[in-house]
Each structure stands twice: as structure tokens, then as C-alpha cells.
Amino acid sequence: MGQIILEHQTFSFNEILAGKWQVEAPYFKESLLFCQDWLSGKQEFVLKTSGSTGNPKDILVTRSQMEKSAKATAEFFKIPTQPLLLGCINTAMIGGKMMLVRAMEWDASIYLCQPSSDPLKEAWLQQPYDFVAMVPMQVESSLRSQEQTQFLRKIKTLIIGGATSSPKLVAEIKKARLNAFQTYGMTETVSHIALAKIESGDLIYSVLPEVKIGVDDQSCLWIEAPMAQEKRLQTNDIVELVAPTSFKWLGRADFIINSGGVKIHPEIIEKQIEKIIAASLGPINYFIIGEADEYLGQRAVLIIESELYQKKEQELLEVLKSNLNKYESPKKIYGIPSFQRTDSGKINRHETFKLCGLN
């Protein structure tokens, strides 16, 4: 029988449906109220988008969409009956809510905790889970601990979403030999519609059952999925189709830099320079963005999450220049102490860009 396990309380889904539960923490109260609505048959739910490419907004999703998403994920991973789950990402967002839906649809037992960067440090959460969803920050934090890494290895299926894993994190996951998958999806598709096994080579995303994909004339991905309301959902994600049901993600069209008529994909450059940045500045967060330039229209600049770079700036720019072409090579480095992030943990490039005093 399915149940939700808190640190000091356990409630069966029957008890939640009957209202035989009481918790004080607002986070758990909101989570259990959602479960009670679901178990009582509620048909529509209002969810918030992450705001990674614009202002966050509310969208209405149906029960049917969420059921289809949970069913497709179970089929994709061949989830066993009555599995053990961990709910450690924010249930106010689609990823967290879908973990609750999966638990109820799969008749699972789910350990539910307040979202934190380091959930596996809690002894009561160190369990042999069948299925877990985390954001990159949580995986990265857990991998810093030898004990927590051992528990990550025991997770039969770990999906990572909310943001794209950095090249550094992908390398660490491979080294730790985790059975981990990077997700691709959005609130409009009710969580992920494709997953990429993190293993040797490039990440290749395979779509869930009954999902169809293609590209427009700008190589941007379109999606036809039973868990989406729109018949065809057009994205701004530039991809390379590998097969009718799989693709490589290259970057976002709205992040493209037009420098002297040359189109530059920041995300591709970021992967290429990961080792150079790590060797010069250590394990820091960074991204490439376009800065207005009178001659080129835009020029590439490097934004780093650190202010301790000035002594190495010129040396680093020279190394980057020798490894990239003249348009791709950053012309300037800007450092700030902390990046702006969305509620789901994604780096908000445009808001961070503003903090640097750029235009």
C-alpha cells in the first residue's frame, strides 16, 4: 500500500484521502493537500513555469496529462511494482509535483523531505531507492561526500532535471558510475519527455513512449506528446536529430550570439572550454553571453561566479583565444559573487547579465 514517509510521521494514501493527517510545516501541508486533491479525483491543477526564459507564469494542466507522463516514465524505466521513491525537489514546481503523482500512480512508498542542496546527508533519507529525481546542485553536493556517493550508487534510477548538468558534473557522474539520466522537458510537457543516459560520449536524448519529435527550418525542436496540451509544441531548443526518436541538445536559439554575422552557440563553447576554466580558476560556474559591440553588433564575453579572477584574466583570455576562433573567443571576463537562479535552480543568464552592468 502506498504511503508518504516524513522524518517523524508516516501516512498511507488512504489516510491522506480521508484527511487523517496533520502536519505543521507549510511545505509538507501544501504537498499533502495536493496529494489529497489528487486522490479525491481533482481534474485540473495550476502549475508555475520556472521562468528560465522569461517571467514565471501559471499554466493549467490536466490530470490526464500528469497520468500519461507518470505512465510513460514507468514504461521507459520498467519501474517495479510498489517502488521506493525519494521526493527531495520542490513540490511547488512541476518536477516535485510529478514525484508525488508518480508515487500515487505507482502505489509507491515515498520519502518526502524539505528541498535542500544536500538531502542525502540526513540519515533517515539514506535508503536503497528505486527511483529518485534531483536537480544538478543536489547531485553535485552529494558527490562531495564519499558516504553520500555510496548511497547515490544504490539508487536504481536517478533522473536529473530542472537545469542542464555542467560538463564538470557529467564527468563526475561518469566517474562515480551512477545510473543517472539527464532529463529534457518543461512545465508545458508536464515534466520530461526525453532522457539521456549519462555515460561515455555525448548525451543522446531518447523520447518517452508515444512522443514524436522533429525540427523546424531553424533546427529548433518541436514536440508532439500526449502529456502536452498543444498538438505540436514548438521550442527554442536547437537540436541535432540522431534518429526519429532521439536527439542531441545543442543550445537555445534565444541565447545565440550574432557576432559580425557569425552565429555563436554559447552552450557549445561552454563545453569546449570547461577544462580550460577549471585549470585556471577551479570548479566555478560560468557562461558565455553576448555583449553589445559597436563594430560586431555583439561580442562574446565570459561571466564567472567569482570575483577572484583579475590576476589571471589576460592569461585566461589568451588561452581561450588560442583554442577558439576569433568570434567565439570571449573578449572580456566579468565576475560577480553569485549568479541569479530560477526557482528550479537554473542559472538565469539574462538577470545575471544585468547584475554585471552590461547592456
Q: pLDDT of 265-286, one tens digit each?
A: 898 899 899 889 988 888 888 9
pLDDT value at residue 296: 84
Residue 262 has pLDDT above 70, yes or no: yes
Same domain membership, residue 228 and residue 97? yes
Same domain membership, residue 283 and residue 346? yes
What band does 53 get if pLDDT is binned at 50, 70 and 90?
A: very low
Q: How far is CA 83 from CA 79, 110, 155, in A?
A: 7, 8, 12
Residue 158 CA to residue 181 CA, distance in Å, equals 6
pLDDT value at residue 240: 95
Number of domains in the chain: 2
| DSSP notation for 46-74 | EEE---SSS---EEEEEHHHHHHHHHHHH
pTM of the entire predicted model: 0.84
Closest CA to 207 of 199, 217, 196, 216: 196
What band does 80 get if pLDDT is binned at 50, 70 and 90?
A: very high
Higher pLDDT, 342 or 134: 134
Closest CA to 304 of 291, 286, 316: 286
What is the arithmetic mean of pLDDT over 319-328? 92
What is the arithmetic mean of pLDDT over 247-275? 89
What band does 346 get if pLDDT is binned at 50, 70 and 90?
A: confident
Same domain membership, residue 232 and residue 309? no
Domain of residue 232, CATH code = 3.40.50.12780
Question: Minimum mean pLDDT among 110-124, 129-143, 284-298: which range?
Answer: 284-298
Q: What is the DSSP letter of 200?
A: S
Residue 359 has pLDDT above 50, yes or no: no
What band does 341 get if pLDDT is binned at 50, 70 and 90?
A: confident
Same domain membership, residue 292 and residue 315? yes
What band does 55 get if pLDDT is binned at 50, 70 and 90?
A: low
Residue 161 CA to residue 52 CA, distance in Å, equals 13
Residue 52 CA to residue 66 CA, distance in Å, equals 22
The domain boundary, picked from 252, 269, 299, lies at 252
| DSSP notation for 95-141 | HHHHHHHHHHHTT-EEEE----S-GGGSGGG----SEEEE-HHHHHH
Residue 345 has pLDDT above 80, yes or no: no
Same domain membership, residue 284 and residue 247? no
pLDDT value at residue 200: 81
The domain boundary, picked from 201, 233, 252, lies at 252
Residue 183 CA to residue 206 CA, distance in Å, equals 10
Same domain membership, residue 195 and residue 276? no
Contact 155, 139 (CB under 8 A): no
Instruction: Show the cell assigned to 270.
Output: 561552454
Residue 175 has pLDDT above 70, yes or no: yes
Residue 306 CA to residue 133 CA, distance in Å, equals 29
What band does 50 get if pLDDT is binned at 50, 70 and 90?
A: low
What band does 357 get if pLDDT is binned at 50, 70 and 90?
A: low
Question: Could you list the residue range(s) of the whole structural domain that residue 273 is in?
Answer: 256-355
Residue 358 has pLDDT above 70, yes or no: no
Domain of residue 290, CATH code = 3.30.300.30
Question: Minimum mean pLDDT among 48-62, 126-140, 150-164, 227-241: which range?
Answer: 48-62
pLDDT value at residue 344: 66
Residue 140 has pLDDT above 60, yes or no: yes
The domain boundary, picked from 206, 227, 252, lies at 252
Same domain membership, residue 264 and residue 242? no
What is the arithmetic mean of pLDDT over 186-192? 90
What percentage of the chain exceeds 70 in pLDDT? 96
Same domain membership, residue 247 and residue 260? no
Instruction: Show the cell assigned to 272.
Output: 569546449
Same domain membership, residue 260 and residue 241? no
Residue 4 has pLDDT above 70, yes or no: yes
* 303-316 tens-digit pLDDT: 998 877 777 888 99
What is the arithmetic mean of pLDDT over 294-299? 86
Same domain membership, residue 174 and residue 225? yes
Residue 42 has pLDDT above 50, yes or no: yes
Residue 306 CA to residue 299 CA, distance in Å, equals 21
